[in-house]
Amino acid sequence: MQIDYAKLQAVYAAKGYRFFVNLNLFGIRNASAQVDEFNDWMGVAFRDEWLNPRLLLFKASTKPGIYYLKLRFSIINKEP
C-alpha cells in the first residue's frame, strides 16, 4: 500500500472528513470479498512530539472467516 501522511490528509479533505493533528485512526477496505485473509488495512496518523508527521499501517481483516460466521449463526439459532 502506497500512502503517506500528506496523501491521507488529502483524502480526508476530499471526502469532507475532519483530520486531527494529534491522532487519526482509519481503515482501508479491500474490494475483494475473500474471507480468511488479512487484505484490509488499519492505520494511525499523528504528529510526534517534534510535530513530524507519522503514519503507521497494519494488515487487518474486516471480513470474518467461515469458522466465525458459522459460530455466530449457531449462537443466533440456539433455542433459549
pTM of the complete model: 0.73
CA distance 53 to 23: 10
Tens digit of each residue's pLDDT (9 = 90 or more) over 45-69: 999 999 999 999 999 887 777 777 6
Residues 9-40: pLDDT tens digits?
A: 999 999 999 999 899 999 998 887 777 777 88
Domain count for the chain? 1
Q: What pLDDT score does 31 carry?
A: 82
Of the pLDDT bands very low, low, confident and very high (cuts 50, 70, 90), residue 78 is: low
Q: Distance between CA 63 and CA 45 in Å, rounded?
A: 23
Query: What range does the domain containing 72 cover?
Result: 5-76
Sign of CA dihedral 23, 24, 25, 30: negative
pLDDT of residue 62: 79
